[in-house]
Amino acid sequence: MSTVNPREVITRSLGAMVDLDRRYARQLDPEIAPWHCYTLDGGHSILVVLDHGKLGDRPTSKELEDNLVPAPVKTVERVGWRLVGGYVVCKLPYHPVLGLITPESDDEYGDTSSAAAGTSTASPTSAPGTVERSEYPKQFAKRRDAELPDFYWWLPKLYRSTAARLEKLERQAERQFPGIFDRLEARRAQHADTWPTWCWMPIGAVRAVLEHEYAARVSNLPLTGAGLDPQQIASMGSAGDAAKIAAIGAWRSAGRHAVNFHDSMTDTFEAQGDALPLGLEERWPLLGVYVTSEAGGKQGSAGCFLHLEWDEHERRTELRLMMDAQPTAALAGLHAQPVFLAGHTVREALAETWTATLMRMNSMTGSDKILDISQGGEFDLLIRAQAQHVGVWVAVAAALVDDDLLVRDAAEVLDRPTAGETWPPKSKPAGKAPVLWAAAPRTLWEQDR
């Protein structure tokens, strides 16, 4: 007998994009009824495992959950299904770029909910034009896209894609380290007064928790030929995991905010790519923020977590970038890039960053290799090449504290109810739904008016 809990799986998989209070208008088959859900962009659905012919005879629960997708109720009933380990498995047409392909006539957006029954889901204290965080994703529901001019369709699509990526990253982090964020928030409450106010939690402190409480769950690294012993390899695995957890944790703790910069700012970021901002920590708006942008095809969006790090041992401030650019969001696909806030240019900062990193590696492996820092040498070329990419993100971070930047709730841009916050948000609201902010120079917003 299966022990899978459909409601827990639905909540874990769909997060803020599902309304659990909605009920279907008629009785469903007992096998699929527990998997009914109402997604804010797809309506009444059944959360199914997509059968693409590669599941095999005995798929693991992880393989099943990695292929979960909400499909319209009518589609599932017409195509049919089978149960595997308690999950509903269904063969449905799926395009690698367009995603699940189902008839539009199968979509159902019924009003059978607690709100329709006379119980409002919005707080009675909500100001006009605002909604509770749990209601916020509805402003970007797919069914409402037709209300907008064509040139605005990208914005709700970006919200849905970004929210889905972030939900998946949180879910994978919790799956690898159950309860990790609650545990770290409790630790932060005890020790936050010993850390700078702009740092959620030093990565070293996160790493200590992982090594003490989750030693069997840290990532294994294929470094057997690198001259390191197993303990050193495990230590490097926990360091990588800690950097990822710190990035996500800072973003969560700040209130789950994502920012999209206007395309016109790209040239500015590239032009300022070698400028290192001074006093960034004094003006940093949030503990952590996720910068998102459109990406082509099935990917939909890509982004980067930004937060400030305090190295307790070295007494050093760092800007931390956690790149999220893989076609499919995955914890293992996040790529960390520290930037020491030292020197006057990004190249100087990266030179210090990599010098410290390489010296630490030499110490671990027992190497006495001398670093060649001559102009035109291998190290110099590495720094120059990396600065061209990293410098753009440093410029993005600098823009977040620029007084000439105006940041508006994306729902407001669409003339829809907002989360009721202004930038930078001051409070940590209840609810897991991320808020999307649209950032552009003040002059550009004035032109749009």
Quote the pLDDT of residue 164.
Answer: 86
Interior/surface letters 67-91, b for 16+ CB within 10 angstroms, e for the rest: bbbbbbbbbbeeeebeebebbbbbe
Q: Is the dihedral of CA 313, 314, 317, 319 positive or negative?
A: negative
Of the candidates 214, 215, 204, 219, the residue with the CA atom closest to the CA atom of residue 180:
214
Q: Output phi, psi for 328, to 5 deg.
A: -115, 125
Asked, as a colleague might, if the bond just before 103 is cis with ω within 30 of 0, I would say no
How far apart, in whole angstroms, are the C-alpha atoms of residue 91 and residue 444?
Answer: 48
* pLDDT band of 336, cuts 50, 70, 90: very high
Query: For 34-85, what is each residue's pLDDT tens digit?
Result: 999 998 777 899 999 998 777 777 888 888 888 888 999 999 999 999 999 9
β-pairing verdict for 36-39 and 18-19: antiparallel
Quote the pLDDT of residue 98.
Answer: 54
Of the candidates 383, 389, 304, 370, the residue with the CA atom closest to the CA atom of residue 343:
383
Q: What's the rounded mean pLDDT across residues 137-162?
A: 88
Model confidence, pTM: 0.79
Query: For 390-420, what is each residue's pLDDT tens digit?
Result: 999 999 999 999 989 999 999 999 999 998 8
Edge-to-edge strand list for the sheet holding 405-409: 335-340, 316-324, 301-311, 288-294, 257-261, 435-441, 405-409
pLDDT at 306 over 90: yes
Query: For 212-255, what is each residue's pLDDT tens digit?
Result: 999 988 987 655 544 544 544 445 568 899 999 999 999 999 99
Q: Which residue spans within 365-428 are E strands per DSSP? A: 405-409
Region of 248 on the Ramachandran plot (φ > 0 left; ψ -120 to 50 alpha; else beta): alpha
Alpha helices in 123-257 (DSSP H): 154-176, 180-191, 203-213, 230-254
Query: For 7-33, what is each residue's pLDDT tens digit?
Result: 989 988 887 778 877 889 899 999 999
Question: What token pair was written down for 369?
Answer: 């290799």
β-pairing verdict for 94-95 and 68-72: unpaired
Do residues 304 and 375 touch, judged by C-beta distance below 8 A?
no
Rg (CA), the chain: 24
**Residue whose entry in the numeric block shows the structure tokens 């392909």:** 101
Collapsed DSSP state (helix, strand, coil) of residue 42: coil
* pLDDT band of 364, cuts 50, 70, 90: low
